Amino acid sequence: MCGIVGYTGTQDAAPILLNGLKKLEYRGYDSAGIAVVNDNNISISKVTGRISNLCEKTNDGQLLPGNLGIGHTRWVTHGAPTDTNAHPHTSNDGKFAVVHNGIIENYMELREELIDNGYHFESQTDTEVVVHLIEMYYTGDFKLAVMKASERLQGSYALGIVCADEPERIFVVREASPLILGVGIGSNYFASDVTALVAYTKNIIYLEDGEFAEITADNIQIYDCAGKPIEKRTNRITWDIQAAERGGYEHFMLKEIMEQPRAIEATMSPRLQNGEVHLDDLDLSDDYLKSINKIVITACGSAYYAGCSGKNTIEKLCKIPVQVELASELRYNEPLIDEHTLLIVLSQSGETADTIAAMKECQSLGAKTLAIVNVVGSTIAKLADYTLYTWAGPEIAVATTKGYTTQLIVMYLFAIYAAKKLEKISASEYKELIEELKSLPKLIQQVLDMNPSIPELAKKYHSSDSMFFIGRNTDYAVALEAALKMKEISYIHAESYAAGELKHGTIALIEEHCPVIALCCNEKMTEKTMNNIVEVKARGAEVLAVTFKENTKMASLADDMIMIPKVNVLLGAPVEIVPLQLLAYYVAKENNCDIDKPKNLAKSVTVE
Ligand code: AGP
């Protein structure tokens, strides 16, 4: 996944492009570049590595004067991270420059055709075919050349295109990759997402797949795929750039961990009125709900692990079988899905390629889809039959925290709402569940306030080569997410195991001082999990237990403990995960890792 940005207006473009790219760097950061049009010339600067290298090379953009330009920050898909492979890519005649987010799936055949037509390629990227196609089709009409080139492309692409002969115009094209337009006064913008623009304008237009736009300083004209002008609504962004800034925290990840009580409050409160759960415009009829014989939850990464926790709650309250499927598997395994299946799609970004593909596969089989996403107007939000947003605000750190916990909250709201409509819970159970849900922000704040003990624990465990996260039932689902958090930001090999599985092989790996993080917050399972702790202790493990403060027996068993408030196990995951998010954060900090931008990762994986 990459980030693209563009500007035209009364100001110098380069500094605006660089600022925008800094905000998009979480989308990919192995190389970057900008192109600025000035006096019918295109000036280009490209670097490998971070945006800061580009700022240095261009003297913060001063070396590229001009008030129209495009920029790109890259996450490698085709071709190593080199200056040559960095975007923007230029045509052989130097008249065009293009930035691209996505994958051109038919680029090899186009590359051969273009080479046969005498075009010379400099890079190994798929993107470069776009700029040569535009040159090939250009006979003086910029818009027509863009349309003809786009018609040849297969795959996913958000494109920004400039032309030296047309120093007043930028063309952008959207197909299966996010692209938004920023409407200013005497200036206009485009970007992969809002965080790149919100410092300049809060008036945003979301392009849809198949649409393209012509951007000048004073106007934005949008066209459908046939080139017919269309009108689109301008949306007003409600949060400001501070919300997307670090707010005084050393890392976005810590800020977003600390924001969770507020993010959960913002997600929940509008949907809890007068003691009832109101789910926006989710008009699921009682008849439809009764017709559901299976719920499938699909997602990737942490969203999948959120689904593993949500499954327990939805199944136990609604008495409907729930299966959780990795989207990258579901899309290919010919699932047994029909009109009686409700597909719940979880995604923070709303742009994850595997999740989109799995969703389309299930829709083609007749399933209704409920999307639980954080990014307004994202592809998954638009594709779904129903959408419930997690109002977590922008999540910048690659490792999700508030995105994950707010997904849990929305699943809990859905479970309580549906169970009541299906008459699977009594009025008193309904009331009690709502009260317990409302207490979660306060309980999470309590866990955050006990924060001082966790950095000390991190000092003890940060040099481990591997870690095991064990738990049973609801604890196991949280252990899955806890292990991923540790892996993706501290690079320590961490595995999660159903505690009952240890004796079936894994315990062979437990040796002297091997850290085992035991999640023990499910009262029904406490004794069993504590037996597992005895087993690993007998083999030399160092055990850090996460348990509720009433579990006094743990003190005589575990080497270290993190106490959390006792919560209804069906609603407890957002509380239980918080200390483990913090543990991963402080371990990574001890190891001097790049916490907000871990190596090899991107915030949203918009390619397969
Ligand atoms: C989570 O910390 C990871 N960054 C990753 O697993 C992420 O959850 C996954 O790529 C899904 O992303 P999405 O929620 O935006 O679809």
Residue 444 lies in a domain: no
* Pair 103, 126: CB distance under 8 Å: yes
pLDDT at 75 > cutoff 80: no
Residue 391 CA, ligand 1 centroid: distance in Å: 17
Residue 346 CB neighbours (<10 A): 33
Q: Provide the token pair at 474.
A: 């609801």
Indicate if 355 and 466 belong to the same structural domain.
no
Residue 115 CB neighbours (<10 A): 12
Residue 537 CA, ligand 1 centroid: distance in Å: 34
Residue 394 CA, ligand 1 centroid: distance in Å: 14
Pocket of ligand 1, candidates 604, 606, 608: which has the most ligand atoms within 8 Å of its Cβ, to mutate?
Answer: 604
Indicate if 389 and 328 belong to the same structural domain.
yes
Residue 597 lies in a domain: no
Residue 398 lies in a domain: yes
Distances, alpha carbon 325 to alpha carbons 332, 343, 413, in Å: 11, 10, 21
Indicate if 273 and 330 belong to the same structural domain.
yes
Of 438, 463, 494, the last residue of a domain is 438
The predicted model gives 470-492 an average pLDDT of 97
Q: What confidence category does residue 393 fall into, taking pLDDT thresholds of 50, 70 and 90?
A: confident
Residue 199 lies in a domain: yes
Indicate if 269 and 314 belong to the same structural domain.
yes
Residue 594 CA, ligand 1 centroid: distance in Å: 17
Report the alpha-carbon distance of residue 427 to residue 201 in Å, rounded.
47
Pocket of ligand 1, candidates 251, 374, 605, 606: which has the most ligand atoms within 8 Å of its Cβ, to mutate?
Answer: 605
Indicate if 137 and 222 belong to the same structural domain.
yes
Q: By alpha-carbon position, which residue is closest to atom 5 of ligand 1?
A: 301
Pocket of ligand 1, candidates 26, 27, 302: which has the most ligand atoms within 8 Å of its Cβ, to mutate?
Answer: 302
Query: Measured in Å, how far apart are the chain's first and last C-alpha atoms?
Result: 10
Indicate if 104 and 166 belong to the same structural domain.
yes
Active site residue: 2, 55, 308, 318, which one?
2
The whole-number pLDDT of residue 461 equals 95
The whole-number pLDDT of residue 80 equals 65
Residue 602 CA, ligand 1 centroid: distance in Å: 9
| Ligand 1 atom showing the smallest separation from residue 349 Cα | 15
Q: What confidence category does residue 77 fall into, taking pLDDT thresholds of 50, 70 and 90?
A: low
Residue 186 CA, ligand 1 centroid: distance in Å: 37
Indicate if 238 and 262 belong to the same structural domain.
no
Which residues pair with residue 3 across a beta bridge?
73
| Ligand 1 atom showing the smallest separation from residue 355 Cα | 16
Indicate if 318 and 354 belong to the same structural domain.
yes
Indicate if 202 and 267 belong to the same structural domain.
no
Residue 608 lies in a domain: no
Report the alpha-carbon distance of residue 424 to residue 405 in Å, rounded.
25
Whether residue 2 lies in the annotated active site: yes
Residue 61 CB neighbours (<10 A): 23
Q: What confidence category does residue 169 fall into, taking pLDDT thresholds of 50, 70 and 90?
A: very high
Mean pLDDT estimate for the chain? 93
Q: By alpha-carbon position, which residue is closest to atom 10 of ligand 1?
A: 301
Residue 73 CA, ligand 1 centroid: distance in Å: 19
Residues with CB under 6 A from ligand 1: 300-303, 347-349, 352, 355, 398-400, 488, 604-605
| Ligand 1 atom showing the smallest separation from residue 399 Cα | 2
Indicate if 355 and 401 belong to the same structural domain.
yes
| Ligand 1 atom showing the smallest separation from residue 407 Cα | 14
Nearest alpha-carbon partner for 185 in 197, 171, 168, 203 = 203
Backbone φ and ψ for 96, nearest 5 degrees, come out as -125, 150
Q: Provide the token pair at 123.
A: 């890079």
Q: Residue 104, by phi and psi: left (phi above 0), alpha (psi -120 to 50) or beta?
A: beta
Of 379, 412, 438, the last residue of a domain is 438
Backbone φ and ψ for 497, nearest 5 degrees, come out as -140, 140
Residue 119 CA, ligand 1 centroid: distance in Å: 39
Indicate if 228 and 273 belong to the same structural domain.
no
Pocket of ligand 1, candidates 193, 324, 328, 352: which has the most ligand atoms within 8 Å of its Cβ, to mutate?
Answer: 352
Pocket of ligand 1, candidates 1, 298, 349, 484: which has the most ligand atoms within 8 Å of its Cβ, to mutate?
Answer: 349
Of 395, 414, 438, the last residue of a domain is 438
Residue 399 CA, ligand 1 centroid: distance in Å: 7
Residue 600 lies in a domain: no
Query: How many structural domains does the chain have?
Result: 3
Domain of 112: which CATH number? 3.60.20.10
- The tens digit of pLDDT for each residue in 407-447 reads 999 999 999 999 999 999 999 999 999 999 999 999 999 99
The gap from C-alpha 542 to its chain's centroid, in whole angstroms, comes to 34
* Pair 579, 447: CB distance under 8 Å: yes
pLDDT at 69 > cutoff 80: yes
DSSP state, residue 100: E
The structure's pTM equals 0.76
pLDDT at 377 > cutoff 90: no
| Ligand 1 atom showing the smallest separation from residue 302 Cα | 8
Q: By alpha-carbon position, which residue is closest to atom 2 of ligand 1?
A: 399
Q: By alpha-carbon position, which residue is closest to atom 7 of ligand 1?
A: 301
Q: Which of 51-60, 68-77, 233-242 has the highest mean pLDDT?
A: 51-60
Active site residue: 23, 202, 420, 603, which one?
603
| Ligand 1 atom showing the smallest separation from residue 601 Cα | 4
Residue 449 lies in a domain: no
- The tens digit of pLDDT for each residue in 577-598 reads 999 999 999 999 999 999 998 9
Indicate if 427 and 521 belong to the same structural domain.
no
Q: By alpha-carbon position, which residue is closest to atom 16 of ligand 1?
A: 347
Segments forming the whole domain that contains residue 460:
454-590
Residue 542 lies in a domain: yes
Quickly list DSSP for 216-255.
Answer: -SS-EEEE-TTS-EE--PPEE--S-GGGGS-TT-SSHHHH
- The tens digit of pLDDT for each residue in 220-262 reads 999 999 999 999 999 998 777 776 677 678 899 999 999 999 8
The whole-number pLDDT of residue 28 equals 64
Domain of 331: which CATH number? 3.40.50.10490
Q: By alpha-carbon position, which residue is closest to atom 6 of ligand 1?
A: 301
Whether residue 163 lies in the annotated active site: no
